[in-house]
Amino acid sequence: MMGSDAGISGTAEARGRRPVRAKQERSGEVQSVARAGQLLNRVVDAPAGLTLTELAETTALNISTVHRLLRTLCSQGLLCRDPVSERFLPGPVLLRLARRSLVSAGLPEVTDALRALVERTGETATIGVRRGGDVVVGLAVSSPDPFRYNATQGARTRLLRSALGLAILAFDRTPLEDVADSAADHTELLSVQFRGYAVLDAPDTPGLRAVAVPLIADGAPTTMAVEVQGPAARITDDRLDDIADTVREAAHRLQDLPVSLLISEI
């Protein structure tokens, strides 16, 4: 009887301990995530990164715990360690998450800027980005007019054969003689610089005209431009300066948005 009672008692204790251990393990997993989150926050808030010792001090965590968590975060790409300074910095996965966040936040604003341009000019608006010797349509908003130009996202055109490309080349830091294929191209690029915007009557589509303005960032190469494109019967010579001013306002607005990130994701 006593042996039997002892056996039952031992089983009950064993059964009672298992849930406690499981609960402790679950608690440890959550605690680990919370501690890892502390480390990520500290690193993100430190532009130059932080060392192992600094992270242990700022989080008040045991240095061996911090070392173990950092090793895991680095293995998953959330952090990385500079081999020279031995400071921990945001890793490729964390940077990719930040990039996606910027894109998600910027997409509505970029689209709104193009829509406003369409409303003010009545023509289709597009953003183009340089890809080698071509310009690629990254984003477009079509005109509501039945007789309109329909831009195709991802369409490629040679830089010198599009208003977007001419605007980019004219305001890039590369000497014009290095990008012009002919004397006529060189003269056209000089005209774009003088006017401050590019105008092109589409050589393959008679009656189609585009007006483009570059997106210029301080100290960075010019790789993007914004344009409106529509029938030359509506984009007449006497309206060019006014339309260009409207496109220029859109370009200034777009320069403050993560357009390059957005386009790279499309």
Residue 239 scores a pLDDT above 60: yes
Residue 99 scores a pLDDT above 70: no
What's the mean pLDDT in 54-62? 91
The DSSP letter of residue 237 is G
Distance CA(228)–CA(212), nearest Å, equals 7
pTM attached to this predicted model? 0.60
- C-alpha span between 233 and 209 (Å, rounded): 9
Report the mean per-residue pLDDT for the chain. Answer: 81
246 pLDDT more than 90: yes
Q: Are 191 and 167 in contact (CB under 8 A)?
A: no
pLDDT at 163: 96
Residue 186 in tokens: 């060189």
The predicted-structure confidence for 124-179, as pLDDT tens digits, reads as follows 999 998 988 999 998 889 999 999 998 888 889 999 999 999 999 999 888 888 88
pLDDT attached to residue 22 = 41
Beta bridge pairs of residue 226? 127, 213
- Per-residue pLDDT of 186-223, as tens digits, reads 999 999 999 999 999 987 888 999 999 999 876 677 88
